[in-house]
Amino acid sequence: MRLERLFCKRRFFKCFAVFILLFMAWMFISFMMTINDEDFPDDVVYDIFIDETQDDHPHVPLDQEIMEEAARKKSEKRYGSVENVDPPDPIILWWTEFTLEPGKSRSCKDKRCFFTNNRAFKSHKNLRAFMFYGTDFSPNDLPLPRQKHHEWALLHEESPKNNYLVCHEEALNLFNHTSTFRRESDFPITTQHLHSLKWLESDVYTKTISQKNRYQQQDGLAPVMFVQSDCDPPSDRDTFVKLLMKHVKVDSYGSCLHNKHLSHPIEKPLEGMAHKDFYELISRYKFALSMENAVCKDYITEKFWRPLMVGTVPIAFGSPALH
């Protein structure tokens, strides 16, 4: 009796399990058939995938094109439409904004050229040259495609640290003309911060050694001064100055290793650095740390010339060409 019951029970479960399995299989098969035959007709399935055999699928704009279009629109908004402007002279376009002029005719060797910042001139038939300001030069924003008669020119007067790209041969080879701190460039600006030799000969600010000694003894000035606004640059000058400070007193006026204040009106770096009060201040020191933010051949700035002009010895670190 017991056995019989158990047997029946077992058989019942077996039958039930088989029934469930069959039911699920039927559900699955009918579901698959619905997918293939009704919900996804062949042509719809086909469209989901990219059809590489078809030539006329819509053109997807590249990032470069989107950016260029945005820059062109911005440029047109700022400098105006060029529909009715048709300069007869060769057009020189500042691809990276520089003069901020919409367009101006200037002499250009023995003829006239039309200089503009307006990118709408990019495709003008008279366009001859694109100019780039080194710091703003970006490989993601170039006037492409480059035409045979398009010449590219680079002006890079700032530190190599501002754009590492222009330290590379491959980048420099893109340009037909260069004007940089390197003396090998077509129009070198190595000495742009030295206005004339007369400046070096002038003794307007020069102090005698006994005067400088008095500034040290009476006003408590250090023998060495340091001014900078850019901390921890690639030249790592701060590490050197920190070490030097362990041995020699250094008056540091800039934002790094700061221990001395610049007073009005020279506390603002941009306006103050060419002020006569600033020259006067440097001239009271025996030495000035003239350390560039990047060490690069021929990169010599006013940090070097300024102490020389006022009779203070520059302790120079920068271009290996300095002697």
- Binding residues for ligand NAG, rule: CB under 6 A, are 151, 173, 176
Q: Which residue's CB is nearer to ligand NAG, number 85 or number 172?
A: 172
Long-range contacts of 273-281 (CB under 8 A, 24+ apart): 273/302, 273/306, 279/204, 279/205, 279/306, 279/309, 279/310, 280/205, 280/310, 281/225
Distance CA 323, CA 317 (A): 10
Q: Which residue's CB is nearer to ligand NAG, number 123 or number 176?
A: 176
Q: Which residue's CB is nearer to ligand NAG, number 149 or number 249?
A: 149
User: Mapping DSSP to helix (H, G, I), strand (E, B) and coil, where does residue 165 land?
Assistant: helix
Torsion of CA 115, 118, 122, 126, to 10 degrees: -30
Q: Which residue's CB is nearer to ligand NAG, number 154 or number 310?
A: 154
The residues near 131 (Cβ < 8 Å, ≥ 6 apart) are 92, 93, 94, 95, 96, 98, 152, 153, 154, 155
Q: For residue 204, give the nearest of 135, 276, 299, 261 by alpha carbon.
A: 276
Q: Which residue's CB is nearer to ligand NAG, number 105 or number 176?
A: 176
Q: Which residue's CB is nearer to ligand NAG, number 174 or number 315?
A: 174
Q: Least distance (Å) from ligand NAG to the CB of residue 173? A: 6
Q: Which residue's CB is nearer to ligand NAG, number 112 or number 150?
A: 150
Distance CA 309, CA 306 (A): 5
Q: Least distance (Å) from ligand NAG to the CB of residue 177? A: 9
Distance CA 156, CA 133 (A): 6
Q: Least distance (Å) from ligand NAG to the CB of residue 139? A: 14
Q: Least distance (Å) from ligand NAG to the CB of residue 168? A: 14
Q: Which residue's CB is nearer to ligand NAG, number 92 or number 120?
A: 92
CB neighbours (10 Å) of residue 126?
Answer: 15
Q: Least distance (Å) from ligand NAG to the CB of residue 175? A: 7
Sheet containing 313-317: which strands, arranged edge to edge? Answer: 250-252, 224-226, 287-291, 313-317
Torsion of CA 188, 191, 192, 196, to 10 degrees: -130
Q: Least distance (Å) from ligand NAG to the CB of residue 306? A: 37
Q: Least distance (Å) from ligand NAG to the CB of residue 151? A: 5
Q: Least distance (Å) from ligand NAG to the CB of residue 128? A: 9
Distance CA 269, CA 253 (A): 10
